[in-house]
Chains A and B, each alone.
Chain A
Amino acid sequence: MVQEVMLRLCAGFVKTIELFLLTLAGAIPLGLIVAFGSMSKFKPLKIVVRFIVWIVRGTPLMLQLIVIYYGPGLLFHQNIWGMGTSGRFTAVMVAFIINYSCYFSEIYRGGIESISKGQYEAGQVLGLTRRQVFFKIVLLQVIKRIVPPMGNEIITLVKDTSLARVIAVYELIWAGQTFIKSDGIIWPLFMTGIFYLVFSGILTVLLAKFEKKLSYFN
């Protein structure tokens, strides 16, 4: 029994990790693009991007998941997500990546805007291009400043992955919960909690290490 539970939980946990890693891989770069959009000097773009960010940050991720998965089918009679498990997984990924890139974009924006004008000007008077100033001078300073808030979001993401079950993506909590119905036991569900704790614990340690690595300058 224990073995069977652990196997099922591990299968669910693999899905959870997949959701987690793919969301980060998508949202970390996309967030930067969104951040540039929200800081654009071209007003219409800036307004549109900030409006989208407001909607995404202002509504529950669960609602976004449901709308993104069922919306296209119900509104346009188009099943854009494809059939079965992989279709649902794609929809979850899209919803998560959009949601998290908006959160990340605000963190990036805060970080970028906190860098003093003097850093840009020092680069400019040395004849560097805007691209060089951003990538060689500003970026690492921004990264240093955003590690703590990004760490928060990343830990939140670990737990948000459980929302995927709303549209029947078989992740960790679902794996644990099935045993309540089938076998009348609750300890597998507690076990899922341990999985989350260990996972976020490891991330916390890694983030602290990274933060320390960047502590040589201020």
Chain B
Amino acid sequence: MPILEVKDIHKRFDRSEVLKGISFSLEKGDVLGIIGSSGGGKTTLLRCINFLERADKGTISVNGKVIFDADQHDLTVEQQRENQLNFGLVFQQFNLFPQYTVLENVELAPRLLKRYPDAEIRERSMSLLKRVGLDQKIDRYPCQLSGGQQQRVAIARALAMNPSILCFDEPTSALDPELTGEVLKVIRELAEAKMTMIVVTHEIAFARDLSDKIIFLDHGVIAEEGPAKQVIDNPQKERTKAFLNAIQK
């Protein structure tokens, strides 16, 4: 049984239909790369999965259990927040909480939601920060960190709530080129540790190496999908070829 099953997601903003029926599934431990040109619906799809947008139609299931059904409106806020915690999201703009230190950023949600005993929260947070290579900077504030460091804290923060699936929304797009490497390295290590992930990215080479499966999203539909190397190295559809050509120029 796939860990994530997305069925027929539609989303419309005013007059434009951004997602026109997206379906895919993801196996536990796999990495899904989502590529495509701007405005193709990549970010909207990720936001629908993370409950930041409400899809107009479709369902989302995790481990066989429907956690979102567009036709069902009677979900309590409580239930929705619980369902949401299946996912973690790393934003393009990091969105760290500026008034909290690195450690406080990571610990805030588990503490407020009393997920684990305090001592365990501290222990877990420290090990997550070690994992992203920032255990020496736990008392710094976000404004004292580089973009790459901030994004690595954001990854640790997302992992602190122990999500089943970690999502990345163009995690390196807001970074200076020399800082993307350190973030990609952390994501790669997570993939090696068999974290289930969905990565929306413009880094085609990275998506190719990292992903088990790639979806090429174009004008709100999945134009092509398949094993990563096949889609990137040997695309079948004209639109995919055109997109990859344009990006590599």
A76 at the interface (CB under 8 A from B): no
Q: A153 CA to B157 CA in the complex, in Å?
A: 39
Q: Which residues of the partner chain B approach A216 to less than 8 Å between Cβ atoms?
A: 99, 141
Stretch at the interface among B31-39, B62-70, B107-115, B196-204: B107-115
Given contacts A119-B95, A119-B97, A216-B141, contact A125 B108 (CB under 8 A): no
* CB-CB nearest in chain A for B92: A118
- Write the B90-120 contact mask toward A (1 if CB under 8 angstroms, else 0): 0101011111000000001100110000000
Interface size on B, residues (CB 8 A): 29
B23 at the interface (CB under 8 A from A): no
Interface residues of B in 16-57 (CB under 8 A from A): 50-52
A121 at the interface (CB under 8 A from B): yes
Evaluate contact between B112 and A122: CB separation under 8 angstroms: no
Evaluate contact between B50 and A125: CB separation under 8 angstroms: yes
Q: Quick one: which of B82, B84, B142 contacts A124, CB cutoff 8 A?
A: B84
**Least distance between B230 CB and chain A CB atoms (Å):** 32
Interface residues of B in 57-86 (CB under 8 A from A): 77, 81-82, 84-85
Evaluate contact between B52 and A122: CB separation under 8 angstroms: no
Q: Quick one: which of B52, B98, B112 contacts A125, CB cutoff 8 A?
A: B52
* CB-CB nearest in chain A for B112: A132
Q: Which residues of the partner chain A approach B109 to less than 8 Å between Cβ atoms?
A: 123, 126-128
Q: A136 CA to B109 CA in the complex, in Å?
A: 10
Interface residues of A in 184-218 (CB under 8 A from B): 216-218
Given contacts A124-B84, A129-B81, contact A217 B95 (CB under 8 A): no
Q: A126 CA to B85 CA in the complex, in Å?
A: 7
Q: A119 CA to B87 CA in the complex, in Å?
A: 17
Q: Quick one: which of A116, A124, A128, A141 contacts B99, CB cutoff 8 A?
A: A141
Given contacts A121-B91, A217-B143, contact A127 B97 (CB under 8 A): no
Q: A132 CA to B99 CA in the complex, in Å?
A: 15
Evaluate contact between B93 and A124: CB separation under 8 angstroms: no
Q: A121 CA to B161 CA in the complex, in Å?
A: 15
A166 at the interface (CB under 8 A from B): no
Report which residue of B85, B93, B112, B142 has the largest number of chain A beta carbons within 10 angstroms of its beta carbon.
B112
Q: A129 CA to B109 CA in the complex, in Å?
A: 10
B132 at the interface (CB under 8 A from A): no
Q: Which residues of the partner chain B approach A126 to less than 8 Å between Cβ atoms?
A: 108-109, 157-158, 160-161
Given contacts A121-B91, A125-B52, A128-B113, contact A217 B98 (CB under 8 A): yes
B89 at the interface (CB under 8 A from A): yes
- Write the B198-229 contact mask toward A (1 if CB under 8 angstroms, else 0): 00000000000000000000000000000000
- Write the A106-127 contact mask toward B (1 if CB under 8 angstroms, else 0): 0000000000101101111111
Q: A136 CA to B88 CA in the complex, in Å?
A: 20
Q: A62 CA to B84 CA in the complex, in Å?
A: 53
Q: Which residues of the partner chain A approach B108 to less than 8 Å between Cβ atoms?
A: 126, 136-137
A63 at the interface (CB under 8 A from B): no
Q: List 24 A-B contacts (CB under 8 A).
A: A119-B95, A121-B91, A123-B109, A124-B84, A125-B50, A125-B84, A125-B88, A125-B89, A126-B108, A126-B109, A126-B160, A127-B109, A127-B113, A127-B161, A136-B112, A137-B97, A141-B98, A144-B99, A216-B99, A216-B141, A217-B99, A217-B142, A217-B143, A218-B143
Measured CB to CB, the residues of B under 8 A from A are 50-52, 77, 81-82, 84-85, 87-89, 91, 93, 95-99, 108-109, 112-113, 141-143, 157-158, 160-161
- A126-B161, A144-B99, A216-B99 known, 17 other contacts, Cβ within 8 Å: A116-B95, A119-B95, A121-B52, A123-B109, A124-B52, A125-B52, A125-B87, A126-B108, A126-B109, A126-B158, A126-B160, A127-B81, A128-B113, A129-B77, A137-B108, A217-B98, A218-B143
